[in-house]
């Protein structure tokens, strides 16, 4: 079975085994225009990374977005699609918005935030079960119970602990894509004001970024849980 076929199979099985609302979303960062997978169109409208993810999750939309299509420049910036705006890079925007009491606290937080140092041409999105490319991260938007099962499945083979690394800003971009790309491990995040307001992530949903290499083990473990726990 090819890698692409296994991703598509994993997408279908995650939906069925977890009872997900919508699809897991395959996200890829394309270095150049030539790296955009064949058959993926440019997105039809300008919006934010979090909304591109939601469109793939809930509407089955496939598409790629260059810096021109990204309305949230902070999200595009941390992923390397364009330079990070100075107001985000210094934390001044979040200080002014009231996220942090001091400018120093805001700067410390954005300095620690996962950011790509390489430049990319575009972000690419597709429902995992329909993806014809190898993703850099797979984003699952789930209820806490579903997130529990994913976490248990992720640890099933080798054990260990899961650490969620987030700060309440830049959640679906820095936390669920960049952190996963750079570290190769699962990261869980609670969303941010922008992603919940602009893309409709519900109050009872959390966000998990999965390294693609973990998918086969997660699916296998979820099947085991179904047999043992129902």
pLDDT tens, residue by residue, 86-99: 999 999 999 999 99
How do residues 177-197 score in pLDDT, each as one tens digit? 999 999 999 999 999 999 999
* 212: number of Cβ within 10 Å: 22
Residue 1 has pLDDT above 50, yes or no: no
Structure tokens at 134: 């190898």
Share of the chain above pLDDT 70, in %: 99
* pLDDT tens string 121-157: 999 999 999 999 999 999 999 999 999 999 999 999 9
Q: What is the DSSP letter of 84?
A: P
- CA separation (Å) from 115 to 13, 105, 127, 223? 31, 18, 24, 35
**What are the DSSP calls for 7-55, one per residue?**
HHHHHHHHHHHHT-SS--EEEEEESSGGGSPTTPPBPSS-B-HHHHHHH
- The residue ranges of every structural domain in the chain are 3-229
**In the prediction, which pLDDT does 7 show?**
87
Query: Can you tell me whether residue 122 is helix, strand or coil?
Result: strand
For the entire predicted model, the pTM comes to 0.96
Q: Is the pLDDT of residue 2 over 70?
A: no
């Amino acid at each position: 079975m090819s890698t692409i076929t296994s991703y598509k199979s994993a997408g279908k099985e995650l939906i069925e085994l977890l009872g997900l609302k919508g699809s897991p979303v395959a996200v890829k960062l394309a270095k150049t225009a030539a790296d955009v997978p064949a058959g993926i169109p440019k997105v039809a409208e300008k919006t934010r990374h979090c909304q591109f993810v939601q469109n793939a999750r809930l509407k089955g939309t496939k598409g790629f977005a260059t810096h021109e299509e990204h309305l949230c420049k902070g999200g595009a910036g941390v992923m390397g699609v364009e330079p990070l705006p100075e107001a985000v890079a210094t934390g001044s925007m979040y200080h002014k918005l009231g996220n942090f009491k001091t400018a120093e606290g805001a700067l410390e937080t954005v300095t620690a935030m996962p950011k790509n140092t390489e430049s990319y041409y575009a972000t690419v999105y597709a429902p995992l079960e329909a993806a014809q490319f190898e993703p850099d991260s797979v984003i699952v938007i789930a209820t806490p119970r579903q997130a529990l099962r994913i976490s248990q499945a992720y640890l099933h083979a080798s054990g260990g602990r899961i650490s969620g690394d987030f700060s309440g800003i830049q959640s679906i971009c820095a936390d669920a894509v960049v952190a996963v790309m750079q570290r190769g491990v699962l990261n869980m995040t609670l969303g941010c004001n922008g992603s919940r307001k602009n893309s409709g992530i519900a109050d009872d949903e959390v966000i998990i970024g999965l390294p693609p290499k973990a998918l086969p083990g997660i699916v296998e473990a979820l099947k085991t849980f179904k047999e043992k726990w129902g």
